[in-house]
Amino acid sequence: MSSVLSDSLGNSSRIAVLSGPTFAREVARGLPTAVVAASENAETAQRVATLFHSESLRVYRSSDVAGVELGGVVKNVIALAAGIVEGMGLGLNAQAALITRGLAEMKRLIESAGGSPLTVMGLSGLGDLLLTATGELSRNRCVGMALGKGAPLAEALKSVGQVAEGVRAAKQVTALAAEGKIEMPIALEVSRIIAGEITPAQASKNLLARALRDE
Amino acid sequence: MSSVLSDSLGNSSRIAVLSGPTFAREVARGLPTAVVAASENAETAQRVATLFHSESLRVYRSSDVAGVELGGVVKNVIALAAGIVEGMGLGLNAQAALITRGLAEMKRLIESAGGSPLTVMGLSGLGDLLLTATGELSRNRCVGMALGKGAPLAEALKSVGQVAEGVRAAKQVTALAAEGKIEMPIALEVSRIIAGEITPAQASKNLLARALRDE
């Protein structure tokens, strides 16, 4: 999105990206929330941080626009996967392992785009991923759960009744990964499930069949 | 623990540490679970991995004994903090931010002990942290929730009725951090709450009062 804006507006130094673990309902209620404002221009990041900062909303600064943006995209795909695991009844151990490996996929994609590993570990990476993949208010997780229980995509989307960005993002992320030859097996299996090419059970088998190796 | 064993047995190359996101109940039910086996000796790690590996239990290898062990200790302290946040009703955004910052504290401690940042991102670090800090079966999280609701420590422990390792670990981790001059504000506030020196509300205020800055 920042590339589109900067192409249209012609001045990327005035663009900032705001991201982080933020269920809107909680922000609206004034519950404590922390986000990151990223801009290639330090003054812009500072300006946005100062504008949004309040007693309940803490805004950290970053210069890693690509890393912050990509984290916000990939996390929806991993949240879909976490929902699928939950819908299949595979348990919390499996979910924790999946989210951990999912963050490793996010890290590879972000680094290949010139983003920083520190961003991956931060609020817009890990923070947002864990909210979206484990929080009850997460739409992507809910759609994943319905898929994991065997619902076709159209039905899963209908049951949630809200936009689940991960459904479109899975395809885009998989395309990006293929282009850059980046290993993202979880995103790939999610996109196959969404395309109706395989069942969640087959995807889970594919992921578990990967060979014993160093972490 | 590995240092104690290696002092007693006199041969650290035969010691391996097994850790990861593993609620025992789920492992016993044969639900898919992934762990890491760490040893300074690659053959020992491989041997343990092969012995434990099964269709439902995937064992990855690591050479980072200190990192794997410390992750398993610190995660209990952060899980207590996550429970406290939940008990106080601060919401999921706050919990996600807290766990993210908690992982950064774990990273600093592990790196100061010669462990690897990759271990922090892995199953015994992030994976175990997120299971323990968000999973319903987590004892440390339950004790934290009781503390967050205002129960004194003795009562919180009694209500859970099981060992919560984070209570002892908070003191030990804080001592380690002080010794190495490592910034671990969350662990510090948890140890103060446990010692009865401050209330959860004061601790939360202290953490939120930290200045606006780069992530």
Alpha-carbon gap: B80 to the closest alpha carbon of chain A (Å)? 17
C-alpha–C-alpha distance, residues A195 and A177, integer Å: 17
As given in the structure block, the two tokens for residue A133 are 């993949």
User: How far B88 CA sits from the closest chain A CA (Å)?
Assistant: 11
B31/A135 CB distance under 8 A:
no
Count A/B contacts: CB-CB distance under 8 Å: 176
CB contact under 8 A, B121 and A136: no
DSSP structure class, residue A137: T
Q: Which residue is closest to A101 within chain B, CA to CA? A: B122
Interchain pair B49, A96: CB under 8 A? no
User: Taking Cα atoms as reference points, which of A99, A107, A108 lies closest to residue A78?
Assistant: A99
Residues of B in contact with A62 (CB under 8 A): 214-215
Smallest Cβ distance to B127: which of A22, A36, A100?
A100
Q: Among partner residues A23, A50, A94, which is closest to B92 by beta-carbon distance?
A: A23
Active-site residues of B, by number, are 75
Q: What is the ipTM, given to two decimal places?
A: 0.91
Q: Which of A128, A91, A125 is nearest to A108 (CA)?
A: A125
Contact A26 B93 (CB under 8 A): yes
Q: Which of chain A's residues have a Cβ under 8 Å away from the Cβ of B62?
A: 214-215
Length of chain B (residues):
215
Q: Check A94 against B33: CB less than 8 A apart.
A: yes
Say what percent of chain A tops pLDDT 70: 97
Closest CA–CA distance from residue A149 to any residue of chain B (Å): 16
Task: Name every chain A residue with its beta carbon within 8 A of the beta carbon of B59.
Answer: 212
Instruction: Mark yes or no for CB contact B21/A131 under 8 Å.
Output: no
Which residues of B fall within a CB distance of 8 Å from A34?
93-94, 97
Quote the distance between the C-alpha of residue A214 and its chain's center. Answer: 25
* A211 pLDDT more than 90: no
Mean pLDDT of A21-41: 95
Task: Write out the catalytic residue numbers of A.
Answer: 75
Task: Note the Cα B170 to chain centre separation in Å.
Answer: 10
Task: Quick: pLDDT tens for A123-144.
Answer: 999 999 999 999 877 899 999 9
Reduced 3-state DSSP string for chain B: CHHHHHHHHCCHHHCCEEECCCCHHHHHCCCCEEEEEECCCHHHHHHHHHHHCCCCEEEEEECCHHHHHHHHHHHHHHHHHHHHHHHCCCCHHHHHHHHHHHHHHHHHHHHHCCCCHHHHCCHHHHHHHHHHHHCCCCHHHHHHHHHHCCCCHHHHHHHHCCCCHHHHHHHHHHHHHHHCCCCCHHHHHHHHHHCCCCCHHHHHHHHHCCCCCEC
Say which of A62, A95, A127 has its CB closest to residue B214: A62
Please tell me which residue of chain A has the smallest CA distance to B95.
A131
Of the residues A50, A53, A93, the best mutation for testing chain B's interface (the one with the most B CB atoms within 10 Å of its CB) is A93
What residue of B is the nearest CA neighbor of A125? B100
pLDDT digit string, tens, across residues B178-209: 999 999 999 999 999 999 999 999 998 888 76
Query: pLDDT class for B164, splitting at 50, 70, 90?
Result: confident
Model confidence at A189: pLDDT above 60: yes
Interface test with A, best of B100, B120, B123, B186 (most A CBs within 10 A): B100
Dump pLDDT digits (tens) for B91-147.
999 999 999 999 999 999 999 999 999 999 999 999 999 999 998 778 999 999 999
Q: What is the mean pLDDT of residues A36-62?
A: 94
Structural tokens at position B79: 């899980």
